[in-house]
Amino acid sequence: MTNLLILAAEEGEHLVQAGDGGWWADTAGIMLILPFVAFGLIMAFGKRLKHQGGEIAVAALGINLVWATILFVANLTGGVLDQTTFEIARIGSGLVFELGWVVDGLSIMMYFLVNFVGLLVFIYALGYMKGDVRVPWFFAAFSLFAGAMLILVGAPNLVQMIIGWEGVGLASYFLIGFYWDDLDNVKAGNKAFMTNKVADVGLILGAIIIGVTLGTFDFDALDLAAIEHSEALAGVALVGGFLLFFGAMGKSAQFPFHIWLPDAMAGPTPVSALMHAATMVTAGIYLMARTFPLFQNLATEARGWMVAIGAITLLAIGLLALVANDIKKVLAYSTVSQLGYMMTAVAAGGYTAGLFHLFTHAFFKGLLFLGAGSVIHAVHSNDLTDMGGLRKYMPTTYWTFVVGSLALAGIFPLAGFWSKDEILATLQFEGYVAFMWIAIAGAFVTAFYMTRAVALTFFGEYKGHAEPHESPRIMTGPLVGLAIPSILFGLLNIPGVSWPGIGNFTEWLGIRVVAMGDHHAEAIDFALAGMGFGAALLGIALGWMIWGKDRNTQQARDRFEVPALYPLLRHKYYVDDAALGLVWATSNPLARFVDWTNTYIIDGIVNAVGGGTKFLGGLVYNGLDQIGVDGVFNGLSAAADSAGSALRKIQTGRVQEYAAGFVAGALILVVLFVFVI
Amino acid sequence: MIVNQFLVLAAALFALGVYGLLVRRNIVLILLSVELMLNAVNINLVAFEAMLNTPEALGQVFAIFVITVAAAEVGIGLAIVLMIFRNRRSANVDELNLMRW
Amino acid sequence: MSFADWISQPVNWVFLVIGLAVLVSAFRVVTSRNVVHAALFLVGALGGSAGLFLLLSAEFVAWVLVLVYIGAVIVLFLFGIMITRAPTGLDEGLDSEQKVWPALLSLAVFVTLAWGSIEAFGTNPLATTGTPTVTEILGESLLGRFVIPFEMVGFVLLAALIGGITIARRDLTPVEEEERITA
């Protein structure tokens, strides 16, 4: 395949020419480095500090937030587009390996998101993790995650993104298995890492194919090439795009790679809030957004598969939230479902829609997780059946949680409503009508299970054994801090509305959006919005009917459980079992083969060598030594012995015989000397 | 007279003495044979003296010495025979074979 | 000198007679079945030797031979024979069974000596005949040139004497042993 080296790979030329980012953009790299510095400091002397190193982590993100906020503000109207890279290595034919950071609309949005939500979660964690085990390591690993995530979102090319990708995977492994005293937590961490690793195969292969074919890994160049040479790149787009999508499925928990996310709830709640709701899991969506033109090249039918996977994830996993009794699991399934929404949107071509939902979801899902953590902290249990009537004891938590739930359900005018509506509009525009209906159904299910969660937790009578109390301000503060954006941020992207001085979300994402051919509705489609809103209201109503009215959860459960569907849901569609079976089926024969080879071939060779040597040794010993050498010596001694035995017979003891010998000897001598000589 | 007649005669006597030494079983008879051999030597000595006619009569002097030593030897020999007889009640030389293998 | 010349000398007739006598006696010494007879035949052999000495003008040696040998040694022998209770009659087990090899050996000895003699001396005549050796010469020799061997031989005789007595002494009985120590 001919190497299509793209013009834009040369330095300085961008997709669109825009203003320089200024000093703040040039130094934005500090955001990527600071969390690692924090990591080192916390590991060095975090133990000695009052909050066990949490102060350092908070400080790092706080400083980062300065940059993020300034850049964010600069981008509101200015449209920043800048990139700073440092060449690290170069492969002869032109493949360059660069590291650096991008400062454009998309990355600024992500910088802001990661640092803002991250800071609030870190502050929350100061209170939540107080008195827990290994707190310095917690904050160190968390800082590590934050740094890796920033490296990921600030990546100017596929290679750095993969570096950040693997970094967040590693931090996720550490933090999921944080309470490694319990083996189940360790297994959950392994499951997350392994599932992601399987998907990463696709990511890396896709990156290699794209990079080698186009001669560059740079996103800028990639997008330019995809736009300008769309026909020539059709094959690459198909293969590379699908492989990248495959990688995104793992990190963003699309069906069937979703199995790790619910189990990841084994980690501390702040981890679940930041990593597995707001930021890390969105990396897959982010990847799709970064390489968006590549996917635009694909025909509608090819993209349809990706949209379908998103839709399946959306609905099927959402249903699982209905039967989960662990409050964190409910939220986990909900997260997977919402990721399905995002993936559907982006795959369908809704660049803005998907990213907007990512943006809003981070706030209200983070809020919900922190709220759940507050409840767990108070009740010392994750189980919904141990809760009930908590709104009396924890008002702040209650109210913020309700806000988050409503936002998630998509109730006007909270954030979720706007972002979901945008997704529905995109699906309709691009022609994926069937998936649009699935999305509406998903909205119903979302509202349904969130009502259940809220009702079982905060309403009715308290059924647990602890003494519930409101959490300290250090924890409720961030709750409020996240509730406000959950309420307001939806208004940032009302179709057709651009707030003066602030602009709207679409504009923030930058001019790139238009160039990439993103569709953006100019006005609200009231019919569609109404359908989405109606589905949500229906869900709340139905949920309240089943779980709200009746204070007895057992009766409610009985009423709800549909005999046919329930076992399927209970076993999570047997996907986990299928995955385990697949792994077993592939690795077991291989392991057995290796074992056989080892026992019979390798051991056989070794044994044969040993046996052969032993045989040879025996041969030398028995043949050569015993018979040969010993034989010679034994023979000599035997000869001497027999000679002696024979000769001693001369000593008969008879004097006459001696005399005879004497005479004979003398005679011989005489003859010899006299006659011969 | 030639010297050889005496020498041959002495040789015959000597040979007979050897035969007796090797054949006889009685210790005394063995000693007897030894005396015979000594006597043959004496004849030789004297015959040579007669042939050479040395001024000091060497051969004869030597012969006297031989006779004297022979006598001493017989004395000792018979003493030994006596002891043997006392210990073993027999003068048979075949029975004196303890110093054998 | 040829055999005819040798035979014509009357001395040689005497020699032949005496020589024959000696030979026969010697032969009988080694083959006699009677121990006493063997001893007596030795006397005959020794006597004949004395006669030969006389022929060789060695009178002193001849009479010394008769005196010492026949007079003392043979008597000793006879005493020894008696003390060792040799059967005075015929003794069947007197000779060893094996006679062939010793006979051959003695024959070989004789042949070697005779041959050597003949080869060496041929028919050398003896220098003296009939003139007796003066005993004075012997005496001068014994006590002159050969005085040390003479004394030595004396010592040998003394040693033999003492040795003989010591060897043949009767062992002391335990009682006598006790007395000897305490006395």
Structure-token pair, residue A318: 């959402």
Could you tell me the residue ranges of all domains in chain C? 1-89+122-131, 134-183
Do the Cβ atoms of B12 and C23 come within 8 Å?
yes
Q: Please give the tally of structural domains in chain A.
A: 1
Query: How high is the ipTM of this complex?
Result: 0.90
Q: Is the pLDDT of residue A479 over 70?
A: yes
Return mean pLDDT, chain A: 82
Shortest CA gap B95–chain A (Å): 8
Do the Cβ atoms of C105 and A660 come within 8 Å?
yes
Nearest to C125 among B1, B55, B65 (CB): B1
Cβ atoms A88, A97 nearer than 8 A? yes
Report the alpha-carbon distance of residue A238 to residue A247 in Å, rounded.
14
Shortest CA gap C38–chain A (Å): 19
Q: Is the pLDDT of residue B69 over 60?
A: yes
DSSP B14-63: HHHHHHHHHHB-BHHHHHHHHHHHHHHHHHHHHHHHHHH--TT-HHHHHH
Instruction: Please report the number of interchain residue pairs, chain A to chain C, with beta-carbon separation below 8 angstroms.
Output: 17
Report the alpha-carbon distance of residue A310 to residue A430 in Å, rounded.
15
Q: Is the pLDDT of residue A495 over 50?
A: yes
**What average pLDDT does the segment B60-67 reach?**
94
Report the alpha-carbon distance of residue C183 to residue C177 in Å, rounded.
10
Give residue A17's pLDDT: 41
Touching chains, C (3+ CB pairs < 8 A): A, B
**What average pLDDT does the segment A36-62 reach?**
89
A533 within some domain: yes
Report the alpha-carbon distance of residue A655 to residue A276 in Å, rounded.
120
Touching chains, B (3+ CB pairs < 8 A): A, C
Do the Cβ atoms of C112 and A656 come within 8 Å?
no
Structure-token pair, residue B13: 């006597």
A71-80, A93-102, A158-167, A207-216, range with greatest mean pLDDT: A158-167
Whether B30 contacts chain A with CB within 8 A: yes
Do the Cβ atoms of B15 and C107 come within 8 Å?
yes
Structure-token pair, residue C20: 């024959």
H/E stretch holding C124? none
Shortest CA gap A661–chain B (Å): 10
Structure-token pair, residue A436: 């649009």
Give the model's confidence band at A552: pLDDT under 50 very low, under 70 low, under 90 confident, else very high: low
**What average pLDDT does the segment A407-420 reach?**
86
Which sign, positive or negative, has the C-alpha torsion C70, C75, C81, C82? positive
H/E stretch holding A170? helix A158-176
Q: Is the pLDDT of residue A45 over 50?
A: yes
A421 within some domain: yes
Give the model's confidence band at A15: pLDDT under 50 very low, under 70 low, under 90 confident, else very high: very low
Whether C148 contacts chain B with CB within 8 A: no
Please state, as a whole number, how many other Cβ atoms lie within 10 Å of the Cβ of residue A626: 12
Do the Cβ atoms of A656 and B97 come within 8 Å?
no
Whether C101 contacts chain A with CB within 8 A: yes
Name which of A123-127, A528-532, C61-65, C69-73 the model is least confident about: A528-532
Give the model's confidence band at A4: pLDDT under 50 very low, under 70 low, under 90 confident, else very high: very low
Structure-token match 């026969």, residue found: C24
In A, minimum Cα distance to C119 occurs at: A675
Give residue C3's pLDDT: 78
Name which of A86-95, A166-175, A185-194 the model is least confident about: A86-95
Do the Cβ atoms of C109 and A663 come within 8 Å?
yes
The SS3 call for residue A552 is coil
In A, minimum Cα distance to B98 occurs at: A653
A434 within some domain: yes
Give residue C27's pLDDT: 94
DSSP A269-299: HHHHHIIIIISGGGHHHHHHHHTHHHHHTS-
Which one has a higher pLDDT value, A19 or A491? Answer: A491
Whether B96 contacts chain C with CB within 8 A: no
Name which of A9-23, A654-668, C164-178 the model is least confident about: A9-23
Nearest to B101 among A649, A659, A660 (CB): A649
Do the Cβ atoms of C105 and A674 come within 8 Å?
no
**What average pLDDT does the segment A423-445 reach?**
87
A58 within some domain: no
Structure-token match 């040696």, residue found: C61
Report the alpha-carbon distance of residue C58 to residue C52 in Å, rounded.
9
Give residue C23's pLDDT: 95
Give the model's confidence band at A429: pLDDT under 50 very low, under 70 low, under 90 confident, else very high: confident
**What average pLDDT does the segment A406-422 reach?**
86
Do the Cβ atoms of A651 and B30 come within 8 Å?
no
Q: In sequence order, what are the residues at sequence separation of 6 or more whose Cβ sits closer than 8 angstroms to the Cβ of residue A255? A: A309, A312, A313, A316, A317, A340, A575
Structure-token pair, residue A611: 């046996």
Burial B3-26 (b: 16+ CB within 10 A, else e): bbbbbbbbbbbbbbbbbbbbbbbb
Give the model's confidence band at A365: pLDDT under 50 very low, under 70 low, under 90 confident, else very high: very high
Q: What is the CATH number of domain B3-89?
A: 1.10.287.3510
Do the Cβ atoms of C96 and B24 come within 8 Å?
yes
Shortest CA gap A669–chain B (Å): 17
Question: Which residue segment(s) compose the domain that A401 sits in?
Answer: 361-570
pLDDT above 90 as % of chain C? 49
Nearest to C42 among B36, B63, B94 (CB): B36
Tell me the H-state helices in A466-552: 473-488, 505-509, 512-516, 526-543
The SS3 call for residue C136 is helix
A478 within some domain: yes
Give residue A13's pLDDT: 42
Phi-psi region of A130 (alpha: psi -120 to 50; beta: other; left: phi over 0): beta
- CATH number assigned to the domain with residue range C1-89+122-131, chosen from the 4 options 3.40.190.10, 1.20.120.1200, 3.40.50.200, 3.30.70.330: 1.20.120.1200
Which one has a higher pLDDT value, A427 or C159? Answer: C159
**What average pLDDT does the segment A272-300 reach?**
82
Cβ atoms A294, A209 nearer than 8 A? no
Report the alpha-carbon distance of residue A614 to residue A128 in Å, rounded.
68
Give residue B67's pLDDT: 95
Shortest CA gap C110–chain A (Å): 10
Q: Which residues of A touch C105 (CB under 8 A)?
A: 660, 663-664, 667
Report the alpha-carbon distance of residue A598 to residue A441 in Å, rounded.
55
Tell me the H-state helices in C9-134: 10-31, 35-55, 59-64, 74-83, 100-121
Report the alpha-carbon distance of residue C168 to residue C163 in Å, rounded.
8
Do the Cβ atoms of B98 and A656 come within 8 Å?
no
A373 within some domain: yes
Could you tell me the residue ranges of all domains in chain B? 3-89
Do the Cβ atoms of C45 and B36 come within 8 Å?
yes
Which one has a higher pLDDT value, A465 or A184? Answer: A184
Which one has a higher pLDDT value, C161 or A621? Answer: C161
Whether C7 contacts chain B with CB within 8 A: no
Give residue A2's pLDDT: 28
A424 within some domain: yes
Give residue C88's pLDDT: 53
Q: Is the pLDDT of residue A568 over 70?
A: no
Q: Is the pLDDT of residue C92 over 70?
A: no
Name which of A182-191, A559-568, B3-12, C104-113 the model is least confident about: A559-568
Do the Cβ atoms of C109 and A675 come within 8 Å?
no
Structure-token pair, residue A528: 């569609």
Give the model's confidence band at C90: pLDDT under 50 very low, under 70 low, under 90 confident, else very high: low
Give residue A299's pLDDT: 62
Whether C44 contacts chain B with CB within 8 A: no
**What average pLDDT does the segment B57-61 reach?**
91
Whether B99 contacts chain A with CB within 8 A: yes
User: What are the Cα distances from residue A11, in Å, to A7, A16, A94, B88, B98?
Assistant: 9, 13, 13, 134, 123
Give the model's confidence band at A1: pLDDT under 50 very low, under 70 low, under 90 confident, else very high: very low
Q: Which residues of C touch B57 (CB under 8 A)?
A: 133, 137-138, 141
Do the Cβ atoms of C77 and B5 come within 8 Å?
no
**What average pLDDT does the segment A652-675 reach?**
88
Name which of A341-355, A425-439, A547-561, B2-16 the model is least confident about: A547-561
A256 preceded by a cis bond (ω within 30 of 0) = yes
**What average pLDDT does the segment A6-15 reach?**
38
Whether C83 contacts chain B with CB within 8 A: yes
